[in-house]
Each structure stands twice: as structure tokens, then as C-alpha cells.
Amino acid sequence: MTPSVRALLAFVASFFRLRVSLQLEILALRHQLALYHRSSQRPPVQPSDRILWSWLARHWARWREVLVFGLPATVLAWQRTRFRAHWARRTRAGRPGRPAIGKDLRELIREISAANPRWGSPCILGELRKLGVAVAKSTVEKYRVLPRPSPSPSWRAFLKSHVPELVALDFFPVPTVRFKVLFVRIVLAHDRRKVLQFNVTAHPTAHWTAQQLVEAFPWETAPTSLLRDRDAVYGAGFQRRGARLGMDQILTAPRSPWQHAVAEQLIGSIRRECLNQVMVFSEGHLRRLLASYFQYDHRWRTHLALAMDCPDARPVQPPEQGSVVAFPEVGGLHHHYERIAA
């Protein structure tokens, strides 16, 4: 088809086009003609030319049909560059992004999420709003502490959730000077690391152990959970007695003393701080030694697990109350200190 025929057909089709489209086509063709008037080789493109064709590419659907001096991909690249430059100017005009989140708020979000690992972002967001803190959900998701996935609650989580109503029961042997082995039974409350009851015997039978359990928790004072190992001394009679008291007996896994960690730690402290320093002569002597040690442990010995407090809460004595005086405990093996006014 000759150029004259194409021009004639374009002239006829112009009568059926919209006037706006026709004017845009005229604008595009005249602009390209002006470009070729500047140079006969390769027309130079100025910023105003890029702006014009970026605008045409956005508002006119037939712009590719009349484009001669370049490729459509080049015009689209100009349009993207102009878009980025526009938003760069808008960003530099003011402070970009959301307002900064303060350090206290970030720490609060981390503290709430760490203390409540089963809470999702909506729960944490709702709690923050009840505290008068207005933040976005995306902010909570950014700063929250993500819990480690676990198929089931860990042993530590179980102990922590049941600690107010959890006691531990355990035995440990003590040899005497005459090579006789005595067995000490302790009942330990997990929440305050306090020995509720202890007893000593040379023959720990199942019947004796069951009777000691009843004496340890009279008049419906038994806790809901009892943690023990799988020793044979906890026989059928002991289990029936515990069921009558309404206690749920939790057994540790075989050969897993770490699941009995609190009781094992106490037994280790008794050995290191008391029994390894003296010679036990008899059952009565051992009972007196342990009674003295437990009195010291409950009233005066500080525990790391209790935030450096004692099982029986011990008040802080300020320097104004007087000078520090030492008092012997457990036959002089240990001392406690108090301030006494002069």
C-alpha cells in the first residue's frame, strides 16, 4: 500500500473518530515533526518531551500507533522514572513513614508477648488499647516476640502453670557413723521452696509412706497435684490414699531426675550445706539436724528462685535500724545477719 493511499484512508477514518482523540493524534505528530526539525540524524529528547509522552501514554490508548522517533518501552521507562521522581519529592518535603515508636512501647510489646506466648497480635493489640496505647497491628507484629513452635506444652510450662498447687515428694538416703542407712522423706511446696514436712526412717515401706502422706495434709489441706518419681515405695496403697485426698499424681519419666529438679536441688543443698559437714550418729540426731537446717532455710537463707527472698518472707532492714550482728545457725555451720539498734 502506497503512502498516498494510507494517507487517504487515514483522512477518511478521521471523520469517524472522537474529536479529543483526533486532537491528541495531531499533537503527537506535530511534536515528532518538531523533533525531526531539530536534527536530521537522531532527534535530541529534552525533559519536556519526556513529560509530554509520559502524559500521552497514560491518557491516550492509541499513542503506540503514532510513535515514530522511539520505542514504546522507552516511553514507559520515562513514565516510571517520572513516577519515582514525583514521590521522591513528596517524601523529601516532609518526614517519611509513620512516626517512630518509642523504646518503652517496644519493650512493653515484647514483654506482653513473651509473658503470653499463646496470644496473637489481635490480643496484644486489644490489651494495649485497654492501656491507652494506640498502635497499628503491623507494629505489634513487628516488635512482638514470636514463640518457638512446640507440639505440646513443655515440662517447664506445666510446672509454672501448676506451681501454686504443686508439691513434690522424694526420698534420699543418709549413712550413719555405724554404717546404717536412714531414709529421709521430704514434702516440698514448689511455690515458696518450703519443706512442708519431713520424716526419717530406716525402713520406708509403702504403708508407712501412705500414712505420712495423710499426716502431711490433714483436714482437706491436700494440694491438687503431687509430683513424684516411679519408686516402688509408692505402691497401690499409697496411690489409693492419694486419690482419697483428691490429689492428681504426676509421675516423672524414667531416669529423668531433671523433671524433679526442685526437690533434687533441695536435696543437693542439704547435703552440701549440712550433712556433708557433720557425722550422723542416729535417727534422732539426723531428725534434729534437719529440723535446725530447715528452720534456717525457711527463715534466713535467700533463694535465687524467690528473687533473693526466703521461703518465709523476710523484710528488708535499712541501715537506720542499727549495726549488723551475726547469729549462728545449724550448730555454727551457717549464720544469719540482722540489724540491731545500739
CATH number, domain of 181, equals 3.30.420.10
pLDDT at 113 over 80: yes
Residue 208, judged by CB atoms within 10 A of its CB (0-12, 13-18, 19+), counts as middle
> What is the pLDDT at residue 79?
76
Query: Domain count of the chain?
Result: 3
CA distance 230 to 190: 19
> What is the pLDDT at residue 52?
75
Q: Please identify, among 254, 279, 304, the residue that sits at the C-terminal boundary of a domain.
A: 279
Same domain, 131 and 166: no
> What is the pLDDT at residue 1?
58
Does the pTM exceed 0.85? no
Q: What is the mean pLDDT of residues 64-81?
A: 75
Same domain, 174 and 216: yes
Q: Please identify, among 231, 248, 279, the residue that sits at the C-terminal boundary of a domain.
A: 279
pLDDT at 4 over 90: no
Asked whether residue 318 is domain-assigned, the answer is: no
Same domain, 62 and 125: no
Same domain, 68 and 164: no
54 falls in which pLDDT band (50, 70, 90)?
A: confident
> What is the pLDDT at residue 10?
63
Q: Which amino acid is at 263?
A: A
Instruction: Find the range with the poorest average confidence among 92-96, 193-197, 215-219.
Output: 92-96
Same domain, 119 and 177: no
Same domain, 165 and 275: yes
Residues sharing a CB contact under 8 Å with residue 183, sequence separation 6 or more, in sequence order:
171, 172, 173, 174, 200, 201, 202, 204
Cell (9 digits) for 320: 537506720
> What is the pLDDT at residue 40?
59
Same domain, 32 and 135: no
Same domain, 85 and 109: no
> What is the pLDDT at residue 83?
76
Same domain, 133 and 71: no
Q: Please identify, among 230, 253, 279, the residue that sits at the C-terminal boundary of a domain.
A: 279
DSSP label of 123: H
Q: What is the mean pLDDT of residues 125-134?
A: 87
Q: What is the mean pLDDT of residues 255-268?
A: 92
Domain that holds residue 139: 103-143
Asked whether residue 20 is domain-assigned, the answer is: yes
Cell (9 digits) for 224: 491438687
Same domain, 116 and 198: no
CA distance 218 to 187: 14
DSSP label of 181: E
How many other β-carbons are positioned within 10 Å of the β-carbon of residue 263?
24
pLDDT greater at residue 224 or residue 15 = 224
